[in-house]
Chain A
Amino acid sequence: MATTLSTLAYLVASVLFILALRGLSHPETSRRGNVFGMIGMAIAILATLLHPGMGGGGIALVIAGLVIGGSIGVFVASRIQMTALPQLVAAFHSLVGMAAVFVAAAAFYAPESFGIGTYGHIHGGSLVEMSLGLAIGAVTFSGSVIAFAKLDGRMSGAPILFQGQHWLNLGLGILLLVLVIAFVATGNAVLFWLIALLAFALGFLLIIPIGGADMPVVVSMLNSYSGWAAAGIGFTVGNILLVVTGALVGASGAILSYIMCKGMNRSIINVLLGGFGTTGGTAAAGDAAAGDRVPVKAGSPEDAAYIMKNAQKIIVVPGYGMAVAQAQQVLREMADLLKKEGAEVSYAIHPVAGRMPGHMNVLLAEANVPYDEVKELEEINPEFAEADVAYVIGANDVTNPAAKTDKASPIYGMPILDVERAKTVFFVKRGMASGYAGVDNELFFRPNTMMLFGDAKKVTQEIVQALQR
Chain B
Amino acid sequence: MNATDLANQATAAANRALDLAEAARRAAEAAAPIAAAAEPFLYLLTIFLMACFVGYYVVWSVTPALHSPLMGVTNAISSVIVVGAILATGLSDGIAAKIFGFLAVTLASVNIFGGFTVTRRMLAMFRKKG
Interface residues of A, Cβ cutoff 8 Å to B: 10, 13-14, 17-18, 20-22, 24-28, 30-31, 33-34, 37-38, 40-41, 44-45, 48-49, 51, 53-55, 58-59, 61-62, 64-74, 76-78, 80, 82, 85, 88-89, 92-93, 95-96, 98-100, 102-103, 105-107, 109-110, 112-114, 119, 123-125, 219-220, 223, 226-227, 229-231, 233-253, 255-256, 259, 349, 351, 356-359, 361-362, 365-366, 368, 370-374, 376
Assuming A69-B107, A109-B94, A110-B91, what are 7 further A-B pairs, CB within 8 angstroms?
A: A44-B80, A65-B103, A77-B115, A95-B110, A249-B55, A256-B59, A362-B125
B65 and A361 form a contact (CB under 8 A): yes
15 contacts between A and B (CB under 8 A): A26-B63, A37-B77, A65-B106, A66-B109, A77-B115, A77-B118, A88-B114, A99-B108, A102-B101, A119-B94, A242-B81, A349-B64, A358-B65, A371-B128, A372-B128
Q: Which stretch, B9-17, B22-30, B43-51, touches the partner chain A? A: B43-51
Question: Given that A24-B69, A24-B70, A27-B65 are known contacts, is A248 also in contact with B55, CB under 8 Å in the complex?
Answer: yes
A233 and B81 form a contact (CB under 8 A): yes
A114 to B124: give the CA distance in the assembly, Å.
40
The answer to whether the Cβ of B1 comes within 8 Å of any Cβ in the partner chain is no
B75 and A73 form a contact (CB under 8 A): no
Q: B residues 29-77 with Cβ under 8 Å of A?
A: 37-38, 40-41, 44, 47-49, 51-52, 54-56, 58-77
The 8 A-B residue pairs with the shortest CB-CB distance, nearest first, are A69-B109, A73-B114, A358-B67, A251-B55, A65-B105, A110-B97, A58-B90, A106-B88
A25 and B71 form a contact (CB under 8 A): no
Chain B residues whose C-beta falls within 8 Å of the C-beta of A59 in the assembled complex:
90
In the complex, residue of chain A having the shortest beta-carbon distance to the beta carbon of B108: A99
A125 and B113 form a contact (CB under 8 A): no
The answer to whether the Cβ of B83 comes within 8 Å of any Cβ in the partner chain is yes
A109 and B97 form a contact (CB under 8 A): yes
Cβ contact of B63, chosen from A24, A51, A241, A259, cutoff 8 A = A24
A380 to B67: give the CA distance in the assembly, Å.
18
Chain A residues whose C-beta falls within 8 Å of the C-beta of B41 in the assembled complex:
125, 235
A51 and B40 form a contact (CB under 8 A): no
Chain A residues whose C-beta falls within 8 Å of the C-beta of B63 in the assembled complex:
24-27
Question: Given that A65-B102, A65-B109 are known contacts, is A123 also in contact with B37, CB under 8 Å in the complex?
Answer: yes
A55 to B93: give the CA distance in the assembly, Å.
9
Which residue of A247, A370, A376 has the most chain B CB atoms within 10 A of its CB atom? A247
A113 to B63: give the CA distance in the assembly, Å.
41
**Taking the nearest CB of chain A, how far is it from the CB of B46, in angstroms?**
10
B67 and A13 form a contact (CB under 8 A): no
B110 and A357 form a contact (CB under 8 A): no
Question: Given that A69-B110, A109-B97, A234-B44 are known contacts, is A51 also in contact with B76, CB under 8 Å in the complex?
Answer: no
B78 and A48 form a contact (CB under 8 A): no
Interface residues of B, Cβ cutoff 8 Å to A: 37-38, 40-41, 44, 47-49, 51-52, 54-56, 58-94, 96-98, 100-130
**Taking the nearest CB of chain B, how far is it from the CB of A355, in angstroms?**
10
Question: Given that A103-B104, A123-B37 are known contacts, is A92 also in contact with B75, CB under 8 Å in the complex?
Answer: yes
The number of A-B residue pairs with CB atoms under 8 Å apart is 397
Cβ contact of B97, chosen from A76, A80, A106, A248, cutoff 8 A = A106
A181 to B93: give the CA distance in the assembly, Å.
29
Cβ contact of A102, chosen from B44, B73, B87, B100, cutoff 8 A = B100
A451 to B82: give the CA distance in the assembly, Å.
53
Which residue of B112, B118, B122, B128 has the most chain A CB atoms within 10 A of its CB atom? B112
Cβ contact of A73, chosen from B38, B65, B109, cutoff 8 A = B109
Chain B residues whose C-beta falls within 8 Å of the C-beta of A234 in the assembled complex:
44, 48, 84
In the complex, residue of chain A having the shortest beta-carbon distance to the beta carbon of B43: A240
B126 and A106 form a contact (CB under 8 A): no
In the complex, residue of chain A having the shortest beta-carbon distance to the beta carbon of B116: A38
A130 to B40: give the CA distance in the assembly, Å.
15
A20 and B77 form a contact (CB under 8 A): yes
Which residue of B78, B86, B128, B130 has the most chain A CB atoms within 10 A of its CB atom? B78
Cβ contact of B107, chosen from A80, A95, A220, cutoff 8 A = A95
A370 to B128: give the CA distance in the assembly, Å.
5
A38 to B109: give the CA distance in the assembly, Å.
12
Question: Given that A18-B58, A31-B120 are known contacts, is A24 also in contact with B80, CB under 8 Å in the complex?
Answer: no
Cβ contact of A70, chosen from B97, B110, B121, B128, cutoff 8 A = B110
Cβ contact of A241, chosen from B80, B85, B103, B112, cutoff 8 A = B80
Chain A residues whose C-beta falls within 8 Å of the C-beta of B62 in the assembled complex:
21, 24-25
Question: Given that A73-B113, A85-B68 are known contacts, is A233 also in contact with B105, CB under 8 Å in the complex?
Answer: no
A226 and B78 form a contact (CB under 8 A): yes
Chain B residues whose C-beta falls within 8 Å of the C-beta of A27 in the assembled complex:
63, 65-66, 123, 126, 128
Chain B residues whose C-beta falls within 8 Å of the C-beta of A71 in the assembled complex:
113
**Taking the nearest CB of chain B, how far is it from the CB of A283, in angstroms?**
34
B114 and A251 form a contact (CB under 8 A): no
